[in-house]
Structure 1
Amino acid sequence: MTSLIFDGAALETLYTGTEWGEGPVWIGALDSLRWSDIPNDRILQYDEASGETRVFRAGAEFTNGRTLDLEGRVVQCSHGRRSVERETSVDGSTPPQTLVDRWNGVRFNSPNDVVVASDGTVWFTDPPYGIDPSEREGHAAEPEYEGCFVFRLDPATGVVDPVITDMIHPNGLAFSRDEKTLFVSDTGFYAGSAAARHIRAYDVDVRGATCSNGREFAVVRPGASDGFRVDVEGRIWTSSEDSVQVLSSTGEVLERIPIPEKVSNVCFGGASGRDLYVTASTSLYRIRTTTTQAPRAPRP
């Protein structure tokens, strides 16, 4: 197979200084990459034109995964506030708005990663890492419901419902190009379930309101899949212990991009959309690819 890395491209280190970098999103309107340094409770922003990184927001309440909504606004997960929120200003001069912080009268564990579907609904995972007693990524607390679910929020109505309830620690997630399949990684091995370090696939019904037929899609080694993205050809670009792995639409490993430390997440960006940004333990990396991220499916 022809490499998916642009001919002659090399891995670049764009920034070093995080304790655990996560939640990257490319903001085309700013030509910038925004991501989190969760244990240091801050959001960072890399400017492509200048090559400089600045602190976008300190005291961010341990934000993690983020994406853009249909209007181009940043939607992100907050471990500290145990919520999904939306940035209300590009420059950070106003605080983010809480979209949802509870279900059925109880608080979430700590929303972790998020995607927005073509109909504007917000889908997010809710493992317990932000309420861990260590307080490394949030504030220690007891869970208020049994389990860790994947939820779907309809911002138009405010209705939030669990759509996946059979995983240990649902973590990263992404839709297939046609939004008929939802992929979700399970990092439940942290809770002692050795088998839970895989990506599962679920069928999404035509109304986009429920998931069914959960099955194992791929097992990622070494380490596990945390965050990932789907490209225009339906391939999955996922984090692992020592590399970014590119998986085929049927789960086979097509390519590995070595990274010198543990990888947390990835996203596509840059002027061409072909730059792969990689967040890892201490650093932000970039490498030019021959593909781009899959666009949202046409609105239903």
Structure 2
Amino acid sequence: MRSVVRSMTLAFAVAACGGGGGSPDDGGDGGAVDGGTADAFTGDPLDGVGAVEPVMGGFMFVEGPQWRDGDADLLFSDIPASTIYRLGPGGAVTVFRQPSDMSNGLALDPQGRLLAAEHGARRLSRTENGAVSAVAERFEGARLNSPNDVVVRDDGTIYFTDPPYGISDADRELDFIGVFRVAPDGTVTAERRGALTERPNGVVLAPDQAVLYVDDSDAAVVRAFDVMPDGALGAARTFATTAATPDGMAIDAAGNLFVSTSAGIEVFAPDGTRWGAIAIPEQPANCAFGDADHRTLYVTAQTGLYRVRLAHPGLPRR
């Protein structure tokens, strides 16, 4: 049985089928943005949420789910196992890439090539026809910290987060914690030079790609950045405060943000107010929309891969 915790009932757990369309509470921190689309649904995105189903367990620590429409499959990382797995159309899970240099977040570029944020190699890589090459591994001569998550704009601009997870202070070469942009011509820019205490993690674009969301796992906030026409980012503003350790994120067609946290999958409206949360059996690390209708939310959560059906479509990340 699924469990949805809605903000308007504070922490009251509601099990079973969706209720009447409510409105989110006033728990957000502002920084309102219009990330929706003109033909998107309105109302509570948690109405009609189905049961959370296990797909497969027994992994070490899974992350980075990425749906591929053309192949009708889901790719995801097992970081300690240094493996990218493939969930095929028939439900079989097979090895896609091994070793994966401890890949974490995954994304697709406009040509459908796989991008991977690699902890082990401290780089962002691209896989094409089985060959793996570096997209970004140094900035101003220094090695990156530990690329964590990645998202791509329609024009090919890439954004990725670079916290220091998995490396010691002695091994760190950059004097800041960054959010980076890779332009279509390959130029790498540090869009945010954060303090060494920052932990930027999940990253996702609004449906109109005019806003980039980045969460900070230690500060338990989601920040929003306006995206300029050339792909550069404006100043950060607080979009929402979450439960502890926000991680990977997904977004639906109406601009509702789905954030993996210690509370499950927390859902925020485009203005930053909180709709509620979907409880997951294990603490989730990331999530992504998939299947042909984009109404299945796949969730990577510690040792397991889960899925849950929603009434409204999401946007598979690119």
Q: Determine the structure 2 residue equivalent to 1:280.
A: 301
Q: Determine the structure 1 residue equivalent to 2:187.
A: 159
| Cα distance in structure 2, aligned partners of 1:95 and 1:169 | 31
Shift of 1:37: 0.8
Give the letter for the 1:25 counterpart: Q
- Structure 2: where are the runs of 5+ without partners? 1-21, 23-42
Q: Pick the aligned partner of 2:249 from 186, 206, 228.
A: 228
Contact 2:148 2:201 (8 Å CA) reproduced:
yes
| Cα distance in structure 2, aligned partners of 1:31 and 1:122 | 23
Q: Determine the structure 2 residue equivalent to 1:198.
A: 221
Matched, 1:83 2:123: yes
- Give SS of 2:223's match: strand
Matched-pair identity in %: 37
Q: Pick the aligned partner of 1:172 from 184, 202, 210.
A: 202
Q: Give the aligned length.
A: 275
- Give SS of 2:166's match: helix
Q: Determine the structure 2 residue equivalent to 1:112.
A: 148
Contact 2:203 2:212 (8 Å CA) reproduced:
yes
- Give SS of 2:148's match: coil
Q: Pick the aligned partner of 1:30 from 49, 71, 80.
A: 71
Q: Determine the structure 1 residue equivalent to 2:276.
A: 255
Structure 2 CA distance for partners of 1:121 and 1:8, relative to 1, 3 Å = closer
Shift of 1:122: 0.9
Q: Determine the structure 2 residue equivalent to 1:136.
A: none
Shift of 1:64: 0.5
- Structure 1: where are the runs of 5+ without partners? 134-140, 190-195
TM-score, length basis structure 2: 0.81
- Give SS of 2:177's match: coil
Q: Which gives a bigger RCO, structure 1 or 2 (Cα 8 Å, sep 6+)?
A: 2
TM-score, length basis structure 1: 0.86
Give the letter for the 1:98 counterpart: A
- Give SS of 2:117's match: strand
Q: Determine the structure 2 residue equivalent to 1:193.
A: none
Shift of 1:95: 3.3
Give the letter for the 1:207 counterpart: D
C-alpha RMSD of the superposition: 2.0
| Cα distance in structure 2, aligned partners of 1:116 and 1:39 | 25
| Cα distance in structure 1, aligned partners of 2:235 and 2:120 | 33
Matched, 1:143 2:172: yes
Q: Determine the structure 2 residue equivalent to 1:138.
A: none
Contact 2:64 2:77 (8 Å CA) reproduced:
yes
- 1:240-251 correspondence to structure 2 within 5 Å: 240-251=261-272
